[in-house]
Chain A
Amino acid sequence: MSSAEFIIQGIITAIELIAGMDPYILSIAGVSLKVSGTATFIASLTAIPLSFIISHREFWGKQKLLTLINTGMGLPSVFVGLFVFIMLVPAGPLGFLKLIFTPKAMIIAQYILVTPIITSISLAAINAVPIAIRENAYSLGGSHRDVAVVVLKEAKFGIVTSVLAGFGRAIAEVGAILIVGGNIAYTGSVGGIGEGLSYTRTLTTAITSETSSGDISVAIALGLILITINLSVNAAVSMLQGRGEERGTA
């Protein structure tokens, strides 16, 4: 088989797997979406209020926190994986939680990776809201909470962009979740769960293992799904940034 035939055959089989709703492929995509979606959601709950506080309040250690967030944006995912692994492994300080090699461990690792990204982009969006908007809201009788709502609404396009960017980083990430999740798929029926389905295997970790084991069609199918999700997220980010720039709050 020539190299072109090998690739074409791989793509054809991959499309057949996706079109046929292969349970193994679907379970992997499901775990990816669940883990990255949950991590992004929890990170947003932390990052958006945090970015508002950083923007609107002066407090001790603010500059150090900003440095930490900027460092966190470029944090190598394998380092985060190693850190979470050490924390959660049975001999580690949080080993009693028995979270290592579970989707929850993967969520924790992705949360650490994604929170600085959402915080940083949200902060830029909130800082771009003219101070006159905030002062008007106060002047019209708004409480601190009312004013926060006004500012967040003005920055909403930038904030949604930050969440999508965070999700894009999470779903494409491989190093950390490979270390703390273990890339596990069930090899037998466990507690009613079907054989061969994913437990902690995600699109990215599965691509690495399927490529290593030579099952190129499955790897291509997973890659196509991953790239489709990423393209959709990036398209949404581009669209929102365009809308935000029209309003000067991207």
Chain B
Amino acid sequence: MLQSACCREGGKNVVLLEITGLGKTFGGKQVLRDISLDVEKGEIFAMMGPSGTGKTTLLRILNLLERADAGHIKLDGMVINGGQNNNRIAARQRISMVFQSSALFNDTVYNNVAYGLKVRGMDKHTIKSKVDQCLALVGLIGYENRKAKTLSGGEEQRIAFARAVVFEPDLLLLDEPTANLDPSNVVKIEEIIRTINRELNTTIIIATHHMNQVRRLADRVGMLLDGELIETGRVEDVFVKAADERTRAFIVGEMVY
């Protein structure tokens, strides 16, 4: 089994992301309440929970696509949500996200993957080299000149991964990245996730409601239910003996939602 690449400094795990007291309300409905969580550098953290429980909203807030109503998010100790606009822009450059739907640009595969590098002002030679590396990482070398719209669903999602990691983000957010894929593509995407984590040392938070995917990929897991993070722990601990009865019910498929 592949090992994740958690970073240690002086024998202690280093926290990359600190979430404190995060809350979000939509139209009078509280979708996230008092979320507090630390995510360590180099780990894969799975956020599991039923559909509509706030996983996507949490990832969108972390990706700075939504604003939280309460709480703080720190990346490497720097607050990235709230008023400090410069911090937001700098943080955005270090965080990337793969959505459920790949939503590739109506352009070539090369230009899709190169986008994140172009907006960072990199030179053509560097861009070419990094795009080639990322296409190799997702197993799509030779697809450079293909139009993105001509790809299959699995290939589209692999390109979505390539363009999300080409600029080597510190934090990669994955929102149900295999939701619309067939089993063989699920295997490929999970292998890509492991490779990104291992070779690029990218910290990953994955939102999913697939128990087996959590088991196969994650180091730690959190259970989000009705906007509350009711339990976090190492995967092997939570899956063997969950501290919260609702987590256990969800894992064994007894939870009705």
Asked whether A and B interact, the reply is yes
Interface residues of A, Cβ cutoff 8 Å to B: 130, 132-133, 135-143, 146, 150, 153-154, 247, 249
| Interface contact tally, CB-CB below 8 A | 54
Q: Is B106 within 8 A of A154, CB to CB?
A: yes
Main secondary structure on chain A at its contact with chain B?
helix
> How long is the Cα–Cα vector from A132 to B97 in the complex, in angstroms?
12
Which of A141, A154, A247 has its CB near the most chain B CB atoms (within 10 A)? A141
> How long is the Cα–Cα vector from A132 to B105 in the complex, in angstroms?
10
Name A142's closest neighbour in chain B (CB-CB): B119
Q: Is A141 within 8 A of B106, CB to CB?
A: no
Chain B neighbourhood of A136, CB < 8 A: 99, 103, 105
> How long is the Cα–Cα vector from A141 to B97 in the complex, in angstroms?
10
Q: Is B115 within 8 A of A142, CB to CB?
A: yes
* 9 A-B pairs with C-beta separation under 8 A: A138-B92, A139-B95, A139-B96, A139-B99, A140-B116, A141-B96, A146-B119, A153-B105, A249-B106
Chain B neighbourhood of A154, CB < 8 A: 105-106
Q: Mark interface residues in B156-172 (1 if CB within 8 Å of A CB, else 0).
A: 00000001100100000
* Closest CB in chain A relative to B224 CB, distance in Å: 21
> How long is the Cα–Cα vector from A153 to B107 in the complex, in angstroms?
9
* Closest CB in chain A relative to B153 CB, distance in Å: 15
> How long is the Cα–Cα vector from A137 to B114 in the complex, in angstroms?
12
**Known contacts A132-B99, A132-B103, A153-B106: A139-B65 contact under CB 8 Å:** yes
Chain A neighbourhood of B96, CB < 8 A: 139-141
Q: Is A133 within 8 A of B167, CB to CB?
A: no
Is B203's CB within 8 Å of the partner chain A?
A: no
Is B120's CB within 8 Å of the partner chain A?
A: yes
> How long is the Cα–Cα vector from A96 to B15 in the complex, in angstroms?
70
Chain A neighbourhood of B95, CB < 8 A: 139
> How long is the Cα–Cα vector from A245 to B152 in the complex, in angstroms?
20
Interface residue ranges of B76-131 to A (CB < 8 Å) = 89, 92-93, 95-97, 99, 101, 103, 105-107, 115-116, 119-120
* Closest CB in chain B relative to A121 CB, distance in Å: 19
Chain A neighbourhood of B116, CB < 8 A: 140-141
Chain B neighbourhood of A137, CB < 8 A: 105, 115
> How long is the Cα–Cα vector from A139 to B91 in the complex, in angstroms?
11
> How long is the Cα–Cα vector from A249 to B105 in the complex, in angstroms?
12
Which of B96, B105, B167 has its CB near the most chain A CB atoms (within 10 A)? B105
**Known contacts A154-B106, A249-B106: A141-B93 contact under CB 8 Å:** yes
* Closest CB in chain B relative to A175 CB, distance in Å: 40
Q: Is A133 within 8 A of B99, CB to CB?
A: no
Chain A neighbourhood of B164, CB < 8 A: 139-140
Apart from A133-B103, A137-B115, A139-B97, what are 15 other A-B pairs with CB-CB below 8 Å? A130-B103, A132-B103, A136-B103, A136-B105, A138-B64, A138-B92, A139-B63, A139-B99, A140-B116, A140-B163, A140-B167, A142-B115, A150-B105, A154-B105, A249-B106
Q: Is A141 within 8 A of B105, CB to CB?
A: no
> How long is the Cα–Cα vector from A142 to B163 in the complex, in angstroms?
13
Q: Is B92 within 8 A of A141, CB to CB?
A: yes
Q: Mark interface residues in B1-14 (1 if CB within 8 Å of A CB, else 0).
A: 00000000000000
Which of A135, A138, A139 has its CB near the most chain B CB atoms (within 10 A)? A139
Name A249's closest neighbour in chain B (CB-CB): B106
Which of B89, B106, B115, B116 has its CB near the most chain A CB atoms (within 10 A)? B106
Chain B neighbourhood of A143, CB < 8 A: 89, 119
Chain B neighbourhood of A142, CB < 8 A: 115, 119
> How long is the Cα–Cα vector from A189 to B89 in the complex, in angstroms?
64
Is B210's CB within 8 Å of the partner chain A?
A: no
The 4 closest A-B pairs by CB, nearest first: A132-B103, A140-B116, A139-B97, A146-B119
Is B241's CB within 8 Å of the partner chain A?
A: no
